[in-house]
């Protein structure tokens, strides 16, 4: 068994023989509210690995550099080893979640323009929201890096909005992470799955994402299964 480099809430990173590549292993574990709520979503790892692999391949085709190399098995993705930029980038098209709370507005209203938000990636602090000044003052990224990150986030949003629309899904919001590979290139990392995206059925507004788990709505596995089938054509 290869060396475990890191274990997160939903994934484990393993070393490979190549120091430039790592295995991202997708678990069934689910957490919410900064890991205060814990549970399991049966076969989430299998579905998320396939969903993320498909989406990263599509993004590469339209010119977004990602860490994706190949899908190795049901739950394993071979990816480039990255030095992660400690910023979580949230892109929003529709009011939901913490934005609804912060602005005192109901969920579901479409935004007149896309909102990009930055959070400091630090579990102990509960990922607080930050702005560009914090990024530069605390040297989380250079101005050039942040410009590139924002540009890629918007590019991902533009692609994914129509990708999901074609599948009958409304892309409400999602979270991205970026990192630098060993050559120094800034690329999209982590995963794009119903764990980190809000996806609503276009016709019924039914939630097809981790909010079903967070809010105890039931039908969690069924929702992930539906997204998995639509995205992968399985």
Would you tell me which residues interact with ligand UDP (CB under 6 A)? Answer: 88, 90, 96-99, 127, 173-175, 196-198, 210
Query: From the CB of 111, what's the least distance to ligand UDP, in Å?
Result: 13
Query: From the CB of 90, what's the least distance to ligand UDP, in Å?
Result: 5
Nearer to ligand UDP, 54 or 175 (CB): 175
Nearer to ligand UDP, 53 or 193 (CB): 193
Residue 139, both tokens: 């040297």
* Coil vs helix vs strand at 218: coil
Nearer to ligand UDP, 154 or 182 (CB): 154
Q: How far apart are CA 122 and CA 105, in angstroms?
A: 27
Per DSSP, the residues of 53-109 read HHHHHHHHHTT--BSEEEE-SSSEEEEE--EE-SEEEEEEEE--HHHHHHHT--TTP
Place of tokens 């998995």: 228
Nearer to ligand UDP, 35 or 182 (CB): 35
**Whole-number Cα distances in Å, 89 to 62, 63, 157:** 20, 19, 11
Query: From the CB of 16, what's the least distance to ligand UDP, in Å?
Result: 26
Nearer to ligand UDP, 46 or 116 (CB): 116
**Whole-number Cα distances in Å, 140 to 91, 129, 130, 149:** 19, 13, 11, 12
Query: From the CB of 23, what's the least distance to ligand UDP, in Å?
Result: 21
Residue nearest to ligand UDP (CB): 97
Q: Are 206 and 215 in contact (CB under 8 A)?
A: no
Query: From the CB of 127, what's the least distance to ligand UDP, in Å?
Result: 5
Nearer to ligand UDP, 72 or 134 (CB): 134
In sequence order, the β-bridge partners of residue 120 are 87
Query: From the CB of 211, what's the least distance to ligand UDP, in Å?
Result: 8
């Amino acid at each position: 068994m290869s060396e475990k480099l890191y274990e997160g809430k939903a994934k484990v990173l393993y070393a490979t023989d190549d120091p430039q590549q790592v295995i991202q292993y997708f678990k069934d574990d689910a957490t919410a509210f900064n890991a205060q709520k814990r549970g399991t979503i049966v076969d989430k790892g299998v579905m998320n690995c396939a969903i993320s692999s498909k989406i990263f391949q599509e993004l590469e085709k339209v010119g977004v550099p990602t860490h994706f190399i190949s899908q190795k098995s049901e739950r394993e993705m071979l990816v480039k080893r990255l030095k992660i930029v400690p910023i979580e980038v949230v892109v929003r098209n529709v009011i939901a979640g913490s934005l609804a709370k912060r602005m005192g507005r109901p969920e579901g209203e479409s935004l007149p323009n896309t909102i990009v938000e930055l959070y400091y990636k630090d579990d102990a602090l509960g990922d607080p929201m930050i702005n560009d000044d914090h990024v530069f003052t605390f040297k989380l990224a250079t101005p050039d890096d942040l410009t590139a990150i924002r540009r890629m986030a918007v590019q991902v949003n533009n692609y994914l909005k129509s990708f999901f629309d074609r599948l009958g899904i409304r892309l409400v919001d999602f979270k991205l992470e970026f990192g630098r590979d060993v050559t120094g290139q800034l690329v999209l990392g982590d995963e794009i799955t119903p764990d980190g995206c809000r996806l609503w059925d276009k016709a019924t507004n039914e939630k097809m994402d981790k909010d079903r788990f967070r809010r105890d709505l039931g039908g969690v596995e069924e929702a992930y299964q539906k997204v998995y089938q639509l995205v992968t054509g399985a």
